[in-house]
Amino acid sequence: MGRILSRSQIKMKKGFLDISFSWIFALIIGATILFAAIYFVTQFSEVKNSQTSAESGTTFFNLLLPLETGIESGKSVRIKFPVKTRLNHICETSGTFGREGLSIQEFIKNKWTENGINIYSEDKYVFYPKLIEGKEFFSFSKSFEFPFKIANLVYLTDAEKIYCFSGTPNEVKEELENFNNPNFKFENCQSPDAVNVCFSSGDNCNIEVKMNAKEIVKEGKIVYFEGNSLMYAAIFSDEIIYECELQRLMKRGVQLTDLYKEKSLRLYNLGCQSDMTLEFSGLQNQFLNLEDSENLYYLRNSIEEISLMNRYSGCPLW
C-alpha cells in the first residue's frame, strides 16, 4: 500500500511548492525587467550615438561654410573633433545637382560606433577619400572656374598625414604654400609615412602628376584634370569620389550656363556685342554629355574660346 502523508507533511509540501513558484515567478519578472532595461539602454545609446553623429555632421558642414563662400579661400581651416572620428564620404549624382553627404562614426571604448545618420547638402563640393579618419583635419579651398566660376572646391586632409611634393612647378608650389597647411612639405621629405606626390618621374611615388598629359596616377587608377582646382581635387580624394563630384560640378555648370546664356542675350538686346548664346548652348551639351574625367580634354577648346570671347567683348559677362 502507498504511504499516506500526514496533515503536517502535506502542509509542508504545499508551502514548499508555494515558495518554489514564488521564486520562479520572481525570477521571470526580474529577468524580464532586466532584459527591458538592457534593451532600453541599448536603444537609448544607439539613438544618442545617431543624434551625436548627426550633430557632428551638421557642425562639420557648417565649419566648411567660410571656405565655400570664399571668405577663407586659399587658407587652411583646422577642424578638430573631441574623439577619433571616421568620416564616411557619400556622393550621389541623381537629381538636378546631385548631393554631397557624410555619416560619422566615433571611436569610443575601443570600438567604432555604428554609422550615424547621413547628412546631405546639394551645394557642397568636398574632396577627400571615401573614408578618412582622425581626430583633427585640415581643410582648404580653391575656386573652380570653367570658364566662369562654378563653385569653390573644398579639400580635406588628415592632420597627421604628411604630403611630400617633389618636382613641383613654382606656380603650384607657391599656391600650396599659401594654403598654410603645415603638413605640406617640399623636396627631400624625411617622414617615412609621407604621401609622396611626384610631378616628375621618381621612385617611391604614391601619386604621380603628369602636367602635360593632365592626368594623375594614384593607386593604379588614372584620372584627368583641367586646371589646378581639379588637380588638387584628384590628389586629395580618390577615383570614385573625384569622378562623382566632377559629375556634380558639370550638373551645376549646366544650370549656370542657362543663366549666362540669358544674360548674354539681354545685353545683346541692349546694344552690347556679347551674344554668345550659340557657344553657351554647345558648352551646355558638352557638360551634359561628359561621362568621366577623360572627356575633359574635349571641353578645353570650348572653354578657351568662350573665355576669349568674354574677355574681348564690349560687355563681359563675368
Contact 164, 195 (CB under 8 A): yes
Mean pLDDT of 276-285: 94
Helices and strands (H and E) in the chain: how many: 7, 13
- The reported pLDDT for the residue numbered 155 is 96
Contact 288, 249 (CB under 8 A): no
Given a cut of 80, whether residue 57 has pLDDT beyond it is no
97: number of Cβ within 10 Å = 18
- 143-154: per-residue pLDDT in tens? 999 999 999 999
How far is the CA of 265 from the CAs of 89, 109, 145, 258, 271, in angstroms? 40, 62, 22, 11, 10
- 243-274: per-residue pLDDT in tens? 999 999 999 999 999 999 999 999 988 888 77
- 165-186: per-residue pLDDT in tens? 999 999 999 999 999 888 999 9
Closest CA to 139 of 76, 68, 71, 63: 76
pLDDT band at residue 117 under the 50/70/90 scheme: confident
The crossing angle, in degrees rounded to 10, of helices 277-289 and 239-269 is 160
Closest CA to 207 of 291, 298, 129: 129
pLDDT band at residue 49 under the 50/70/90 scheme: very low
- The reported pLDDT for the residue numbered 283 is 96
Which residues are CB-neighbours of 89 under 8 A, at least 6 positions away?
101, 102, 126, 128, 129, 130, 131, 132, 241
Q: How many whole angstroms separate alpha carbon 193 and alpha carbon 183?
A: 12
Query: Residue 282 in 3-state DSSP?
Result: helix
Mean pLDDT of 188-204: 85
- 69-114: per-residue pLDDT in tens? 555 556 678 899 999 999 999 999 999 999 999 999 999 999 999 8
Amino acid identity, position 101: G
Q: How many whole angstroms separate alpha carbon 208 and alpha carbon 199?
A: 6
Q: Are strands 184-186 and 163-166 parallel, antiparallel or unpaired?
A: parallel
Q: Are strands 195-198 and 184-186 parallel, antiparallel or unpaired?
A: unpaired
Calculate the average pLDDT of the chain: 84
Amino acid identity, position 131: L
pLDDT band at residue 33 under the 50/70/90 scheme: low
Spans of all domains in the chain = 245-311
Closest CA to 145 of 305, 303, 263, 314: 303
